[in-house]
Chain A
Amino acid sequence: MRFLSWAYLGLMFLFILLPVLALVAFSFQDGRLPVPPLKGVTLEWYAKVLADRDLMAALWHSFLVAFGSSAMALLLGFLAASGLARAVLPGSALMRGLLIAPLTVSYLIIALGLLQVFNATGVRPSLFATGIGHVVINLPLCFSIIYAAMGEHQRSALRAARDLGAREWQVLALVSAPTLAPALAAAFFLSVTFSWDEFIIAFLLTRFEVTLPVEIWSMLRSGLSPATNAIGSLVFLVSVAILLALEFTLFRKSRP
C-alpha cells in the first residue's frame, strides 16, 4: 500500500508536470524544432521573443486589460458587496443572483452576446471591448469573494464610524477597505490571472491590437517553434509569480 501510494504519486506528478517540463526544456533548444534530441542550450529564442515587437505589444496589452478590468471589477464588486451587506434591500436575493449569474455561463456565450451587441451599436472590436468582457467575467468573482468576507461585525463597525461623523466615502475607504484587505487582494489577483489567461473573449472582441493569448494562438498556426516555447515559459513564470502573490495574501488571511 505504501509503495503503491508513492509509485502512483510519482506517476501522476510525471503526467502533470511533463508538458511544462518539455515546454521549458525545449525553449533552450539550439535548433529549429522544439522536439528531442536536445541539441544544445541557447538563449537565442528568448532574445528573439523579447525583440519581437508584436509579442511585446501583446504583452503590454494583456497587462493593460488584466489590471484595468480587474480594478474595475474589484471596485464594482466592492461597492455592490458593501451595499448588499449593509441593508436588506427589496429584491436583494434577485440582485445577488443576477450579479453571480455570469459565473454559470461559458465564456464563449458571453463573448458571442457581447459581439452581437457591439456590432449592433457600432462599438469596434478593441482592447476596450475586451476589457468590458473581462469585467463581466470577473465581477461575480470579486463580488462573491468580498461579500463572503463581510460579516455582521462589519456592519456594526460601519455604523460606529458613521455615528462618529465619518462621511460615506470615508467609511468605505478608511474603515471597510482596510479590514477587507486580504479579500480584496485575493479577488484582485484572481481576476488578474483569469483576465491574463482569457482567450475566447479577447479573440472575438479584438482585431488589430490583440492580447498575449491571442498573439500566441496566431504563432501556433506556423507550427511548433522554440520561440513559442520561450514565450510560453515566460508566461508560465508570470503566472507562477501571480500565484505566489495570491498564496501569500490568502495565507495571511488564514492567520489572524
Chain B
Amino acid sequence: MSIERIERRQGAALVAPAMLWTLAFFLLPFLAMIWMSLSHLEGREVVSGPGLENYQRIFTDPSLRRGIWVSLQISAVVTVISVILAWPLAWIIATRVPEKWRRLALLLAVLPFWTSYVVRSYSWALVLGENGLIMQSLIGAGLLEAPIQIMATRSATIIGFVHFFTMLLTLTIYSNLVQLPPNYARAAEDLGASRWQVIRLVILPLTLPGMVTGAFLTFVLCIGDYITPQILGGNSELTLPQLIMLQLGRRGDYPMASALAVVLMVLVTLAYAACARWLRMERV
C-alpha cells in the first residue's frame, strides 16, 4: 500500500470518534428538535407532525410575537451601545496606555468577563437594586430623593448585557487595532490629516472586521441568552429564550419550545448573512 493510502485509512480511524460523537449528540438532537417543532401538543400528548401549527401560532399569538420583537430590540440596542463604548476603550488601551501597562490594562478591562455568568448578573442585581450601591450613593449625594426602579425592567437587562459585551467587543477591537501597521496613521498625518481625521477616515474603517465580528457575536449571544433577562429583567416582559424556558417548564410543551428555538436559529442565521461580508473569525 502507498503511504498516502495508509495515512488516509489511519486518518479516517482517528476522525471517527469525534465524528460519531458529533453525529449522535449534536446532529441527531438537532434534527429531532426540528421534527419536534413540526409536531404539536393536544392536551398533554405530543401529536407527531409534520404540521405548521406551532409556527402559525407564533405569528398570530401576540405574546409570542411580542417576545421575538422584544428580543430583537434588546439585542440591537445592546449591540449598538456596546460598540460605541468599547471602541474608544480599545483604542485608548492600544494607543494611549504606555506599553509597559498595556497588558495589565487590557486584563483589568476584561477581568469580569471570566467570572461566572450567573454571578455577574447577580452582582448587577446587587448594584442596581432599590437599596443598591448606585441608588444609595445618588440619594446620599443629594441627587435623588427616592430610588428609581431599574431592577426588573428592560434597562436592567440592557445594563447587564452592555457590561458583558463591552468587554467582549473591547477584546475583538483591540486585537484588530494592534494588528494595524503604525505606518498608515503616520502616512495620513504626513499628508496633512488632523488627528481626528486619522481616526475617523483611516483607523475606524480598518477596524471594521473586528467591530463586525464582535457585534455579530454580541447579537447572537445576546438574543440566545436566558440568564441576564431572567435575573435582571424579571418577568416584566419576556424575551425569546424566556418564552422557550416557559414552554418547557410550566406547560411541558416541547413542540412549541422547539419551534421557538427554530425561530431563534433563523434570526441568528439572518444576522450571519447580514455580516458575512465582513466576518473573518480567524483574524480575531
Residues of A in contact with B (beta carbons under 8 Å apart): 1-2, 5-6, 8-9, 12-13, 15-20, 22-23, 26, 33-37, 76-77, 79-80, 82-84, 86-89, 95, 98-99, 101-102, 104-110, 112-117, 120, 132-133, 135-136, 139, 143, 148, 159, 168, 193, 196-197, 199-200, 204, 212-213, 216-217, 220, 224, 228-229, 232, 235-236, 239-240, 242-243, 247
Contact = CB atoms under 8 A, between A and B. Distances in A.
A98 B261 CA distance: 20
A108 B228 CA distance: 14
Contact of B126 (A9, A34, A76, A84): A34
Interface of B: 3-4, 7-8, 10-19, 21-23, 25-30, 32-33, 36, 85, 88-89, 92-93, 96-97, 105, 107-112, 114-120, 122-127, 129, 131-133, 136-137, 163, 166-167, 195, 220-221, 224, 226-227, 231, 241, 244, 248, 254, 257-258, 261, 264-265, 268, 272, 282
B122 A220 contact: yes
Given A13-B109, A83-B10, A236 B133 contact: no
Contacts of B195: 1
Contacts of A77: 18
B132 A89 contact: no
Contacts of B85: 12
B241 A108 contact: yes
A1 B29 CA distance: 54
A95 B20 CA distance: 11
A79 B17 contact: yes
Contacts of A213: 116-118
Contacts of A235: 115-116, 119
Q: Identify which of B125, B126, B258, B272 gathers the most chain A CB atoms within 10 Å of its CB.
A: B126
Contact of B30 (A84, A87, A105): A105
A201 to B, nearest CB: 11
B11 A87 contact: yes
